[in-house]
Structure formats: C-alpha cells, structure tokens
Structure 1
Amino acid sequence: MAVQLMSRYFPVGIHTLKASLYPSVCPACRVWTLEHKLSAWPENPQTLLSSLCSRSFSSAKATGRGRDLNESRPAQSSETVTEEEADAEEGFGTLSEKFSSRRFFQKATAEFHELKIRTEWTTEEEELKRKPWRGRRNTPYWYFLRCKALIKEDKLAEALDLFEGQMLKEERLQPEEMNYTVLIGGCGRVGYLKKAFSLYNDMKKRGLTPTDATYTALFNACAQSPWKDSGLQSMLKLREQLQEKDLELNTISYRALLKACAFCSDLRMCLQVFKEMVQKGHSITTETFNFLLMGCIKDKESGFRFALQLWQQMAKLDIRPDGYTYNLMLTAARECSLGDPLVASELLLRVPEESSAMPRQRPGRQRQRAKDRGGKELGPAAGPQLNVEDLERRMFPEHLVKPAKPLVSQQTGAEEETTMLDSGTSENLPALRPNRLVPSFSTANGELSPGACSSPNLLDFPIPKDNLVSLGTVDTPSDRLALMGNLEGFLKKMREDDVAANIKTFTLLGELVEPGSPSESSLLAVLEEHNVRPDLTFFNTLVRKKSKQGDLKGAKSLLPVLVKKGLSPNLHTFCNLAIACYKQVDGMQLLADMKRSRINPNIHIYGALINAAVKKLDYAYLIDILRDMSNTQTAPNEFVLKMLEFAAQYPPDFDPYKTREPYLAKINGFRAFYFRWLKWMAAEEQPHPWAKYRTGKESRSPASTGEE
C-alpha cells in the first residue's frame, strides 16, 4: 500500500525524487550525496511523506510532472518546455553562488561527521571495514588479569592494544577502575608519562573514581620519566589537584610522591613532603628514609654529608637500615662530595644536645601508635621524637654557628677549646696532604696531631670521637669510604644490623676501595667468605677501574679469573678494556680479538677508542678507527661526532707556517679523510624512549615524535 501511494504521487521514481531535492548541487556532488543519503533514508513511507512535505511537491511542479495533482493548470507547448529545460540546464547551480558560498544547503548527518573524524586518525581498512566481534564475550576482570600478565612479561604495547583495540572498540565493554590502574602502573614503571596521564584523563571522563593505587602509579610515572622537568611539572600539577579536592593520600602514595621529588626535584622538596607525612601521622619506615637518601644523591656537592646526617637521624629514631640503605650510602660516597670540611665537621662531629636526653629503644620493642577518630592507625608516634624543621635547619644551615660545647679530650680528661670552626678562616687546622683523608686529633699538650690513630666510622651512633677535632680533606671516593670504616668496618657494621651483603654491595665496594690497597686484593676472598657468587657486572667494574687508571695489563689479568668463575666476557667487558687502549697497536689488537671471538664492536667501543686516541692526538690512530667503522657499517652517534669535531679543529695558537708540532703534523690528512668519511657514513638515529610502547593511532600521529 505504501509503495503504491508513493508511486501514485511520485510516478518518476523514488531515486529521481531524491535527486530533485538537491537542485543547487552540481551533478558530480549530487551523486556523491545520494550515496550517503540513501543509507539514512527512512524506511517508513509515512515518515518519508511527512519529511518531504511542500518541498517535494514544489519540486514536482517545477519539473512539470505533477499534472495529476493539479489538473486545472493549462498545458504548455513542447517548445516552451524545451526552452525552459535548456535554460535550467545551463544555469543549474549557478544562482546559489551569488548568495552563498556553502557547498551543502542541508545539515550533514551525525554519521557523516563520525565518518570524517574516523578517517582523519585511522585508515579505511581498520575502521570502515571493521568486522563485528564474533569471539567470546570476556569480562573486564578477564582483561584486567590478561593486561597484568602482559605487563609482567614486559609487553606493555600488547597490553595497551588489547585494552584499547579489543576491549573498547571491538567488544565495546565498559571498563572499570582496575583496568585503567593496571595500565597506568605499567606505564609508570617504564616512564611512559604521557600515556599514563592520558589514561587517567580518559578514566575521569568515563566517570570512574581513581583510587590510591592510581595516584601511586601516576607519581611513579613522574619519577621514572626520561624528562625530569616534564615529570616535575606533572607531579606538581597532580599534587595541586589533589589538594584542591582535599583528598588524603595513604602512606604508599606519599612514598611514591617522595620518590618523584627525589628523582625530579631536590632534597628540599623531599623534606617538605617528609614533613607533611609526619604531620599527618603516617608511619616513617626504612623505605621512607631510602627515598630521602635518593634525594641526597642528587646533590653532587654535599650529598654525602646529607646522607650521613640522615643516617644519624635514623639511628635516633631507632629505625634499622636494610641492604638497600647500605647500597645507597655507598652510591652517595661514590657520586657525591662531602662539601665544606668545616661545615661537615661542625654538623657531623658535634655531640647533639637531644641525644643524651632521648632514651634509645630496641628494634624489637613495640612502639606506641596513634589513632584518629575512626580508629585507623596512623603509624608510630614520632611527633615528639622527630622534628623535621630542626633536621632541615641542621642540613641547610644559613650560617655556621660556633659549637655550643667544646670537644672533650679524653687524654687530659678536661674540656679544652681546641678550635673555633668559623666559615671565614681555617688557620687552626693542621696542614693536610692534598687528596687524602687525615683526621685531626688533640694530644696531651694541646697540640693537633694529624693521623694519631685510625679514622672513626661515622655510621656508628653515637660517634666515638676519641680526641677527634675535625675532618681533613675528603676528595676521593676511597676517602669517603674511609669515613665509613673502609671495607672491613663497613661490612662489620652490616653484620651488626643483621643485613646480608649482596653482589650489588660488593660491586660498589670494588669501585670505592683504594687502588692498590690490601682491601682491593682481598676483595674476592671476602666475597667468598660471605657466600656471594660474583657475576659479570662485578668483574666489569674491576676491569673498568683498572682501565681508568691506565693499567691495561692489570685489566687483562682479570679475564682469566673471569673465565675461571664460569663467565664469558661481553660487549661491556671489551668496552671497559678499550678505555685503556691509548696506543694504536692495542686498539687494533682489541678489535681483531673481538672479531676473532665473533663479537661485533658497537658504537660504545668505538667511542672509547676514539676518546683514547683524541687524548693522545694520534691522528693515524683515529683514521684507522674510522676506517674500521666504515667496514663494519657502525653509524656514529652524537657523542662520537662531538669528539671527532674537536679533533678536527686547529688549536687556537697553531700556525703551521711558523712552528712544526710532531703531534699536529698529520692533522691536515685527518681532516681530509674525516670530511670525506662524513659523506658516506650515516649518523645513528636515537630512538624515542616511548616508541616501542606506542600502538596504532599514537605511532602514526605527527605530534607524537617530539613530546617530552
């Protein structure tokens, strides 16, 4: 019935009627429009008739095909109709250009806009021809477990594609908070900061409430970001949002925030967060102080002194260190300096006023815990024992203050004012040998005697000063290790705290012990006494230490010991050996041995050889290295190119016409070879840190190549 009614009023056909509704569109555009409008045409004839209304009838009358609706209209001659049709064909669509520049007069449908947006980000094969999901219907919890397993296997890209591609687009499931949190945690472990906050924003748009685990993962992403400035900005912005919403973080989230401050900011911000934790009653544990020690390592000038002060504060609170704490102390001794010895002597050797009045507790003693109104435990009642403001004042003194109590000389048994530690002068200190640790002591006649007895262990609390007045010059890592008792005293302190030394501890000790000392020679024997099996990283550290001293023979002597332990050298081993190859014969022999062992040299090995050759200004050596790089097709990186550019430059006072330098005689030949070498060698392209974690739309996005 509906078809008959439409054929009665529209004898020309439904397709012709649709075409007549768009008289202002050119024929090519009209065909394209009909292909999209036909799919959205209503199936109900009544809806069709009501939607067309008067415009349909006016179109039919204009074409002369509505005679059955208006029988009283006189018929026109065939010549008149032909002329009107000819004029209509000649001026079709031209009248609208005078009044409007729009291409379409009707509003586009929602399907058309959605199609346009999809084609901008994805290809037609992925979106327009996507097949309906025919697999089994999984639950959000199944996707949570599957993504968690993929992240544990270091397959973050697969986990993101499974969540965004299969769960959201194909199955169209409504995700839950746990699905976002597990992915944000995976992005946080690898430092994928941008994706972590993108998932967090998408989570809030869907109306899901983030939990403490979500905020912990976000702070961890800020800490692990390869760009610390961007991580700091994101961390501050997130913390500001949480403060505006008046959301309270738990202890684990505060530790993640403390870690982000330690990695991206400085120790002062760490102490501010630490103060906030204490004020809100969160428990202060060994892990909390470990994050503070990470903040100390950021300060290369006085970080070791900060670490020792935090160690003393842990002893006051009776918090026992763990193996990670001891490793952080060794890292601080390796990378950071003690700072001003006068300030360090004043802050580390002075007897604290509160130490005598504070009772010392046993580690196993049950401490009193404070509770809020809801009955939730807030941690140890460390309020009266821990004063963060006083700790901050001691770590960052505005000016040196004279000691309140003079140091006591045990040999005389009386108090003697030995020296006044002033920031301006050091006249009362004895003459010290450069680059050596020589503590100063008070003798019976009141004179200072450097090196009268062995140096103390500053890890002990209280510090057994034994006539100790001040610290001497502490410049080398071995000197800083001596302040912690050297190898024997450090391991003894670990045994007292029931902490077992691991291979990481002995690797750090191998870097810190004094070269050529008995402790270095007995390091392998001590390692066997502690039932710790050496690994390849431990031997590579010893080889690197020998190579930095220029002892290539001593570094090679460690290779038989390495093989005897059932290990085989790797690229890191040869790279450490290349540091000491200052002669052309040694460098070329090293490359030949690597090729004989079927180990292809990488850019790091070539960089170490180039660095050694540049230090000696051996241009013939440099040409041989560059020629070998071209044979192995090893692309140079930015560091190597900087060293080569430095070697290719003439010295500022070099004049080849006045003087003839034996080391600079071949610089012109090297410059000619180097500039030709640059033309056929392609530079190494550094991959983006997040490139392997991008999927689908993100990898094709042009804006994703330069983010930070």
Structure 2
Amino acid sequence: MAFRCLNLLKTVRYSSVILRHNMLCTSITENKYSEIKKNRKQDNIAFLGDPDTFGTLSGRIIDEKLEDDGDIKEEIFLQNIPLNSQKLSTKQYADLIKQYLKYKRIKEAIDVLEVRMIKEDRVKPENYIYNILIGACAEVGFTKKAFKLYNDMKRRALKPTGDTYTCLFESCINCPFPSYGLKMATHLRNLMIEKGVEPNITNFNVMIKTFGRLSDLPTAFKIVDEMMSKKIKIRVHTFNHLLQACIANKDSGLKLALIVWRKMLKMKEKPNLYSFNLMLKCVKDCNLGSKEDMLEVIGIIQEHNLLFNIKPQQLQIESCEPNLPTSQLHSDKNQSEDISKTELNLSDFKENKSPLNNKSEINMQDYKDNIKTDFTTNSSSNVATVNQNISFELVQNHQKALPKIPERILPNLLSKIVQIDEVLAFQEARTSQDRFAMIGGQEDFLKEMESYSVAPDIKTFSQMLYVIDDNTDAENKLIESMKAHKVKADIDFYNMLIKRRCLRMDYENAIEVKNMIEEENKKRKRHPLNKKNKLKANIMTYGVLAMTCNTREKAEQLLTEMQDNQLKVNIEILGTLLRNGTSKIQFGYVLYIMDVVKQERLRVNDVFIRHLEVFNAKCVKLIEKNENEQHESPTIKAAFTRFSNIYKEWLKEINIEEVLKPEHPWKQFTEPHPTTVQRENIRIIQPKKFYKRSRKFIHYKPKV
C-alpha cells in the first residue's frame, strides 16, 4: 500500500498535468515548464507565471465572436452609453425640428427624432415631438409616414391627443392618392370608435372636411347627425366644413351648398367671411344639377319663407328647349297641373336626420292654385331677361303687403328672404357667370355681405374674378369695387388677371397689367411699411407673362428680365414658351428653348416632350402635304432636317429614358434634401447644452 502511494506521488510530480481539487486542470507546455523553473523560489514553491496575474489555472480562454446582428446591436447599445450632458430638453429638440421644417427639410426633421433622440441620446420623446412631425407630414401629404409615427407613438405608451387625430385626418386630405387617403381616414375613424375616443369639435370638423374632400359625402353628413345626436351645437365653422364637402361634388355641389346655406340661416347662424368665399368657389367649380334639383332648392326656400309669414305666390320654370308645338304645350300644361297636386320631398336638416338621405315631405296642396310649373318658352310682356340663360317673370300681386326688403337688382338665393313671389321663369345655368347671377351677381353679392357686417378681403375678389363676365369692362369694374372697399390687391390677384386675359388672347391688356403693378408700387412708396405692401413680381408672374411671348425676341427679353431679378427659370415657363414657338412653326424659337434647357440643366417633363413630338409630327405632315400638292418648300425642308438632327442629339444628352421615369411623390421625403442651384440662406442653430445661471445677489428688503 505504501509502495502504491509513493508511485502516485512520483506521477503527480513529473507528469504534465497538475491535479487540483474540483478536478480543474490546465496544460503545461515546455515553455511553461521552463518558466516554472525560473520562478522557483524559497521552499521549492513554483508559480505558473507572474504572481500578480490571476485566472491562469483555468486554461486558455477562447474569444467567441458575435455573429448575430441583434447581439451586435445589443453589445454596441450597452457599450455606448451617452452622457447626461449630451442630452437636451424636449423644448430644445422641438426647436431644432422646427428649424428644419422652416426650410421644408422633412427628412432631416424626422431624423432628429429617430436618430438623434432615440438612438444616439436615448431620450424618450413626448407627445409634443410626435405631434409636430405628424403635422409636418400632414402638410406635405406624407400620409404613410404620419401613420407610422402614430403607431410608434402608441408603442411607446404615449397617449394621442386631439391634435394628433386632427393632423392624421389632414394627412389623408393632402394625400396624393385619394383612394389611399380615404382608406386610412375610414380606418382611423373606426379605430377611434373602437377605442372609445371621444372627438372634440375640431376633430368633428376635420372629419367632415376629410370625407367631403375625398368624395364620401354620405359619411360627412352622417358625422353631422352624430354631432346632433350628442347635442353638440353646430356653429358656423361646421357649416363651412360642410360647404367644403359640397365643393367636392362637381355635378350638383351648388345645390347641396344652397341647402346647407339655408339650414345655417334656419339655425340662426351668421355666415362669416369664409362662408361667402366658399360659396364663390362652389359657384366657380360646381354645377347646379337638373331642374328637379333646382325645384327642390326653391321648395326649401319657400318653406324658409313661411317662417317669416311670406306666402309663395307663383313660380314658373322655363325650359331651355326651342318653341314647342301647340299639342305638346297642352300636354306639358296638363303635366304641370298633375305635378302641382303631388307632394314634393324636400331635404331638411333635422336634429336626427341626414340632410342627404332623409327628406321631409311638404304637402304642396295648399299652393296648387299659386305654384304652377310651365314649360313653355313663349315670352310675355312681363318677362325680364337678365342673362342669356336666366330670365325672370314678374307676377304682380297686391293682395298682401310684404315686409320691406332691400332693393335687389337680381334675386339672391343667399339672402335671408328671397322674393319668390315676384319670380319667374329660369333656364339651366351652364356657365359660372350664370350661376353667379343666381346668387346676386357682383353688386348684390357684396350687398349681402354688407348686410351681415362682413367685409370682403382680397381672397373674395380673387374668387370673384373667375365668375364675372369675361371681358375687360367687368374686370375694371371689379378693380374699382376693390378700391371702394379699401382692399389692396396683391401680386397673386394680378397674376390671375394676366392669366385670365391671356386665355382669351387679349395679350395687349395682359401686358398692361404689368404697368398697373408698377403704378401701384409708386403709390405705395409713401406707406411707412413699404416692404410689407410693395408688389414684387414673382415666378408665377413671369409664368403667366410667358403666354404673351409669341416670338423669340420677346422670350429672350423675358428670360433676361428674370435673370436681372435673380429668379431661376423652371421647366414650366420654358414649356409655355415652347408651345408658343411650336404653334407658329418657328424653328429658331424652338431650338433656342431646347438650348436653354440644356444650359440650365433642367429636368424635362412629359408636357415638354409632348410639345416637341407634336411639333415634329406637324412638320412631317406639312412637308408631305407640300410634296403631294407639288409645292416646293426647300426652306422648311432644310430647317426641319436641321431640327431633326439636333433633336436626336438633344434627346441623348438629356438622357430622356432616365428623366421620364415616373417618380414617387413620397421619394423626396425619404432622401436628404438636395442642394439647390439658387442660393439658400439655411442656418441651423444647434441648441446650447450648458446654461450658466446668473446668480445675482439680491438684498433682502423687508415688507413694511
């Protein structure tokens, strides 16, 4: 037994493995063994390496490399801990975002939240930051990113506010894809109902505006019914949003707008400036509908007049058809008597009914002797023709004294009391001028605004410019009316006036507007706020003036003037100039515009290329026609040959295939803002990280 113990000790002494308790071992190589000999000291104690080094008995440590991306990100996240001095306050981050938004840098503003705050500084954002960015995305129509920020906001346990929902609905309105915008708006409204979110009055108004502009009028009026069911008082602002919804219906939007207007007067809500401006826009963009629609509106007006104890007396609707034979006249007369005995369903806004779907039935049996519908076109001595398409028949009746009504040149359907008893026969209103005459025309419309103590502004006259008669006299009369109401015209009004005159080929009066701008500037020089009231031609001014440049010399003069005023020409202005050159087959003019595009390095669009292709085909047909008729035209043929050669090389230089690729409207918000050719004074002020408080000693003053 003793012999076995001695052999075991020898083995332990001379073997290459040193056993330790808990069976931990380490391999000792020849180099290690030589180091042990060097480190021998007193009492024959051997050290494995430096005595200050620990952990050498566990063996070689294997360095494991992280291969998973998630582990790498986690390791970097744990190692790069930001300092407290690196972090900013919520207000400082918001100020930094607003600086980028001031210059329309959407990508950089979003990076402040997603990169700097969350990744670098590791600051938890608040609702205020998200609301600013969602509002910025809503303004430019970046709907997808707005809802992505909204979802990120909910993941961070941040409660959306009323402003959040308002901005989200605004993003659906400005979305470049209406179907996608309507889909997201419907989804958001259903989500609010599901989560039990109670909208405020602003949310209700913006929902009406959203579904109205996206052509979902039943939902817009359904929201109004929901407001009434919740006993929310409908103010004039809600009616204004309903008028915006009516404008989206181009076929019968004016009829719906007149119904909304009547309901607003019935609820004793006073129209404001926005109400009148929206009615002008509705007259400009929307049609009235059929005669049945107009009859429905007149029935509502008659019902409204009953509130003031005014009986409707006689109404005749005149057809726009030519004179009919006698037999057909008798049949129409019998038909009109049958219609007068029936009941007319008139849509009415009740507190629990939709103005579109639910209609109140009004028995017209009491008016069967007074209201007669006559479809004859025979003119009588008491018919007064106001316009080419509108005529009014005066019916005298002195049996009952009516209340005093201000003298009107034309019957105004917007007035509180419409004189239906002295009206008439009318025809279909096909033009905006005819529709404008139905609400009083220029003079009576301004009188109606004055009756509600509403002063017109420049937007009122700008909208009115599109609905007045298309001639110089009416435009001059409008300018005189502006001066009478002390409304100063801005450069946008003059731009619209130039365009209106150019569209009717009145180029001399269009150029005269430029002189009007200069004369107006001379009058405003005495004003103390000269910079605020000074009229300065902008890029839109030269864009409409380009329509008057029918020769190359005028085009060169226009471009030189733009360069003197430090304005860069764009492809839209050059496209207008190119159209003028191609319409009169001026090869020198066309080649000059093509050369300007190449020099300015502008990106052409489909319209510009289409003008060139139409011009090329037009020249080919002209040459073929001359050859068939045996008319020699060597000048045109030589000029076209030269143009064809230059045109082929020009298409290669501008890389037409790459240029005409469709570009997604949201791509500009996902890439950094490009450096512009024009000088931009962009200065982003970084917020200070440290603030030194002024600790001024204040002497104590006891209160006496």
Whether TM-score is above 0.5 comes out as yes
Secondary structure in 2 aligned to 1:415?
Answer: coil
Alignment CA distance shift 1:12-1:320 (3 Å):
farther
Distance 2:93 2:566 in 1: 44
Pair 1:229–1:318, CA change in 2 (3 A): same
Matched, 1:497 2:429: no
Cα distance in 2 for partners of 1:135, 1:661 equals 86
Q: Distance in 1 between matches of 2:137 and 2:628?
A: 62
Distance 2:491 2:280 in 1: 20
Q: What residue in structure 2 maps to residue 10 of structure 1?
A: 26
Matched-pair contact (CA < 8 Å) for 1:133–1:170: no
Quote the Cα distance in structure 2 between the aligned partners of 1:44 and 1:269: 77
Deviation at 1:539, TM superposition (A): 0.9
Match of 1:605 among 573, 590, 593: 573
What residue in structure 2 maps to residue 303 of structure 1?
253
The 5 Å alignment of 1:278-289 reads 278-289=228-239
Structure 1, residues 274-322: CA drift from partner, whole Å, max 9, x if none?
2222223333122212222222222222222322222222111222222
**Are residue 573 (structure 1) and residue 529 (structure 2) matched?**
no
The CA distance in 1 between the partners of 2:217 and 2:371, in whole Å, is 36
Q: What SS does the aligned partner of 1:132 have?
A: coil
Q: Secondary structure at the match of 2:251?
A: coil
Partner of 1:238: 188
Matched, 1:404 2:336: no
Contact (CA 8 Å) 1:511, 1:542: kept in 2 or not? no
Aligned match of 2:617 = 649
CA distance in 1 between partners of 2:617 and 2:460 (Å): 44
Match of 2:419 in 1: 464
Once the two structures are TM-superposed, the CA of residue 211 in structure 1 deviates from its matched residue by: 2.9
Deviation at 1:622, TM superposition (A): 3.2
User: Could you tell me how far 1:658 is from its partner in structure 2?
Assistant: 3.0
- Structure 1 residue 473 displacement after superposition: 3.9
- Distance, in Å, in 2 between the alignment partners of 1:314 and 1:635 is 50
Amino acid in structure 2 at the alignment position of 1:235: A
In structure 1, distance between residues paired with 2:171 and 2:451? 37
Change in 2 beyond 3 A, CA 1:112/1:444: closer
Deviation, structure 1 residue 645: 2.4
Quick check: 543-552 or 590-599, which moved more? 590-599
User: Match of 2:121?
Assistant: 171
Q: Match of 2:39? A: none
State which of 436, 440, 454 in structure 1 corresponds to 2:388: 436
Give 2:165's aligned amino acid.
Y
C-alpha distance in 2 between matches for 1:402 and 1:496: 30
Contact 2:225 2:354 in 1 (8 A): no
Equivalent in the alignment of 1:625: 593
Contact 1:602 1:634 in 2 (8 A): yes
Superimposed CA distance per residue, residues 350-403 of structure 1 (whole angstroms, 9 cap, x where no aligned partner): 35464256579xxxxxxxxxxxxxxxxxxxxxxx963574621489x9xxx999
The aligned residue for residue 317 of structure 2 is none
**Secondary structure in 2 aligned to 1:557?**
helix
Distance 1:128-1:211 versus aligned 2 partners, 3 A rule: closer
Provide the C-alpha distance between the structure 1 equivalents of 2:125 and 2:560, rounded to a whole number of angstroms: 58
Q: Which residue, out of 290, 293, 312, partners 2:262? A: 312
Question: Which of 391, 396, 399 matches 2:355?
Answer: 391
Q: 1:419 aligns with which of 374, 378, 398?
A: 374
1:199 matched to 2:149? The reply is yes
| CA apart distance, 1:524 | 2.6
Distance 1:623 1:281, change over 3 A: same
Structure 2: how far apart are the matches of 1:325 and 1:662?
A: 64
Distance in structure 2 (CA, Å) of the matches to 1:394 and 1:441: 33
Alignment partner of 1:513 out of 460, 465, 468: 468
Q: 1:308 to 1:609 in 2, by over 3 A?
A: farther
Choose from 481, 499, 511 the match for 2:436: 481
Query: Normalization by structure 2: what TM-score?
Result: 0.68
The residue type equivalent to 2:511 in the other structure is K
The alpha-carbon distance between structure 1 residues 297 and 675, as it changes in their structure 2 partners (threshold 3 A), is: farther
Partner of residue 33, structure 1:
none
- Partners in 2 of 1:148 and 1:255 — Cα distance? 26
SS in 2 for 1:355: helix
1:314-329 matches, within 5 Å, as: 314-329=264-279
**1:191 and 1:44 mapped to 2: Cα distance?**
64
**1:564 paired residue number:** 519
**Structure 1 vs Structure 2 CA RMSD:** 4.6
Amino acid at match of 2:653: W
- Asked whether the 8 Å contact 1:317–1:385 carries over to 2, the reply is no
Whether the 8 Å contact between 1:290 and 1:324 is mirrored in structure 2 is: yes
Deviates more, 1:307-316 or 1:672-681: 672-681
Partner of 1:349: 298
Q: Deviations over 1:485-508 (max 9, x none)?
A: 222112111111122211111222
Q: How does 1:198-217 map to 2 (within 5 A)?
A: 198-217=148-167
Aligned residues: 561
Distance 1:611 1:429, change over 3 A: farther
Q: Partner amino acid for 1:114?
A: G
For residues 640-686 of structure 1, what are the alpha-carbon distances to aligned partners after superposition, in whole Å with 9 as ceiling and x for unaligned?
12232233336999854534799996695455543333222345578
Residue 247, structure 1, aligned to residue 197, structure 2: yes
How has the CA–CA distance of structure 1 residues 275 and 661 changed in structure 2, closer, same or farther, with 3 Å as cutoff? farther
Matches within 5 A, 1:183-194: 183-194=133-144
Closer/same/farther in 2, CA of residues 322 and 262 from structure 1, 3 Å limit: same
SS where residue 606 of structure 1 aligns? helix
2:173 equivalent in structure 1: 223
Q: Report the alpha carbon displacement of residue 550 of structure 1 after superposing the two structures with TM.
A: 0.5
Q: CA deviation at 1:547?
A: 0.8
Displacement of 1:338? 2.5
Read off the aligned partner of 1:554 and give its amino acid letter.
N
Return closer, same or farther for 1:191/1:6 CA change in 2, 3 Å cut-off: farther
Partner of 1:678: 651
The 3-state SS of whatever aligns with 2:202 is helix
Return closer, same or farther for 1:45/1:222 CA change in 2, 3 Å cut-off. farther
Pair 1:455 & 2:410 matched: yes
Task: Report if aligned partners of 1:478, 1:513 keep a CA contact under 8 Å in 2.
Answer: yes
- 2:493 corresponds to which residue? 538
Cα deviation code 1:447-499 (max 9, x no counterpart)? xxxxxx95311211232235323432423322222222222112111111122
Aligned partners of 1:271 and 1:388 also within 8 Å:
no
Letter matched to residue 386 of structure 1: K
CA contact (8 A) 2:412 2:440 kept: yes
Partners of 1:652 and 1:298 lie apart in 2 by 44
Structure-2 residue corresponding to 1:22:
none
Q: C-alpha distance in 2, partners of 1:517/1:615?
A: 26
Q: Distance in 2 between matches of 1:256 and 1:159?
A: 25
CA contact (8 A) 2:413 2:438 kept: yes
**Distance (Å, rounded) in 1 between the aligned partners of 2:479 and 2:302:** 43
Q: Does the 8 A contact of 1:267 with 1:292 survive in 2?
A: no
Q: State which of 105, 111, 118 in structure 2 corresponds to 1:161.
A: 111
In structure 2, the CA distance between the partners of 1:328 and 1:618, relative to structure 1 (3 Å rule), is: farther
SS across alignment from 2:85 = coil
Q: Does the Cα contact within 8 Å between 2:205 and 2:238 map onto a contact in 1?
A: yes
1:146 Cα offset (Å): 5.8
Q: Partner of 1:183: helix, strand, or coil?
A: helix
Output the TM-score relative to the length of structure 1: 0.68
Residues 208 and 606 of structure 1, relative CA distance in 2, 3 Å threshold: same
SS at match of 1:512: coil
